[in-house]
Amino acid sequence: MKTALHDYFAHTPDIAVLCTQNGWPDNDSLRIDVQDEAPGMVRCAVSFDEILTGGAGCVAGRVRCWGRFRVELGADGRVVAATREM
């Protein structure tokens, strides 16, 4: 399940809503912590570094971002949907 969650969040634009400085998520820093589990559903905390760029497109900085998601899983353990929890 951890692999399915990581693959999903590494490839979905859903986590971009957590960015605060108009940057983009750094998948190398992506971390997923499962906080609650039930049949067909998990709640997890997602965190990553947001990459910020300067005028020339160079990396100008990083900002830590995080949020919580309710994730629905299919019978095969793959992510069906993810909803941000406030």
d(CA 39, CA 74): 10
What is the pLDDT at residue 52? 94
Tell me if the pTM is above 0.75. yes
Q: Is 5 helix (H, G, I), strand (E, B) or coil?
A: helix
Q: Which two tokens stand for residue 9?
A: 């969040």
Task: Quickly tell me which residue has 């929890």 as its tokens.
Answer: 85
d(CA 53, CA 50): 10
The residue-averaged pLDDT of 66-85 equals 96
Q: How confident is the model at residue 33 (pLDDT cuts 50, 70, 90)?
A: very high
For the chain, the average pLDDT equals 93
User: How many residues appear in the chain?
Assistant: 86
